[in-house]
């Protein structure tokens, strides 16, 4: 399991934390923060996480935040630290459902779904070899999908692009991907939104060295 800033959706919190710790290299530190009572991450928990993130350190630290739910206020409290984490720091949010995640969090962190009940078909697009031809073929194949299905594809595309490390994903590009999902809510055609998002990513693809 990759140790990188991300959201993990699972019903098995303890097992997932153990798997993450098992992937660590020597010297890497973990900070695991649970809500004090109840199943919802509280403001005080979020502030504690941010404080721990900004403690000066020379070793890589993975801050794991675990709860069934993260309220909008909590997510906004965490947002700045997630967008611009201190050196040597990664944030991993573990929760049981992604339905309450804000678009800003979704656009900043890849989402990994571990449990079979939340599973879905793999993305039929090789982000490492993305080119104009594969973009148009993919959009043509999915031209009749509805907004809900297009949102799922956008989420998968964003996650795959981040994990591939083949793209220069600056804040503007991530904002564009977030706005693509908002465009679907406003009735923009799914094929139009998908091709816009993929061409934007293609423009940010790193050139291969000869």
Report yes or no on whether pTM surpasses 0.75.
no
What is the reported pLDDT for 116?
A: 45
User: Hey, what domains does the chain have and what are their CATH numbers?
Assistant: 6-118 (3.40.50.300), 127-203 (no CATH)
What is the reported pLDDT for 119?
A: 43
Is residue 8 scored above 80 in pLDDT?
A: yes
Is residue 200 scored above 90 in pLDDT?
A: yes
Is residue 123 scored above 80 in pLDDT?
A: no
What does the alpha-carbon distance between residue 22 and residue 152 come to, in Å, rounded to a whole number? 30
When mean pLDDT is compared across 45-49, 74-78, 97-101, 153-157, the lowest value belongs to 97-101
Is residue 148 scored above 80 in pLDDT?
A: no
What is the reported pLDDT for 38?
A: 67
Is residue 117 scored above 50 in pLDDT?
A: no
Contact 39, 68 (CB under 8 A): yes
| C-alpha separations of 163 from 21, 59, 94, 145, 189 in Å | 19, 22, 18, 25, 27
Going by pLDDT thresholds of 50, 70 and 90, the confidence category of residue 150 is confident
128-141 pLDDT, tens digit each? 889 999 999 989 88
Contact 74, 46 (CB under 8 A): yes
Is residue 124 scored above 80 in pLDDT?
A: no
First-residue to last-residue Cα distance in the chain: 31
Averaged pLDDT for residues 23-52: 88
88-98 pLDDT, tens digit each? 899 999 998 88
What is the reported pLDDT for 32?
A: 94
């Amino acid at each position: 399991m990759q140790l990188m800033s991300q959201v993990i959706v699972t019903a098995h919190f303890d097992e997932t934390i153990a798997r993450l710790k098992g992937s660590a290299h020597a010297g890497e530190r973990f900070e695991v923060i649970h809500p004090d009572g109840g199943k919802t991450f509280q403001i005080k928990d979020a502030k504690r996480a941010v404080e721990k993130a900004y403690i000066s350190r020379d070793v890589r630290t993975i801050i794991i935040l675990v709860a069934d739910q993260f309220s909008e206020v909590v997510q906004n409290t965490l947002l700045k630290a997630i967008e611009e984490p201190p050196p040597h720091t990664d944030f991993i949010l573990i929760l049981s459902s992604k339905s309450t995640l804000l678009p800003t969090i979704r656009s900043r962190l890849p989402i990994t779904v571990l449990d079979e009940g939340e599973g879905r078909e793999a993305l039929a697009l090789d982000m490492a070899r993305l080119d104009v031809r594969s973009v148009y073929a993919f959009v043509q194949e999915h031209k009749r999908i509805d907004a809900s299905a297009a949102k799922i594809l956008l989420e998968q595309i964003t996650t795959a692009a981040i994990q591939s490390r083949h793209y220069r994903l600056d804040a503007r590009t991530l904002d564009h991907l977030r706005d693509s999902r908002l465009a679907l809510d406003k009735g923009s055609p799914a094929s139009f939104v998908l091709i816009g998002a993929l061409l934007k990513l293609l423009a940010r693809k790193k050139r291969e060295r000869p």
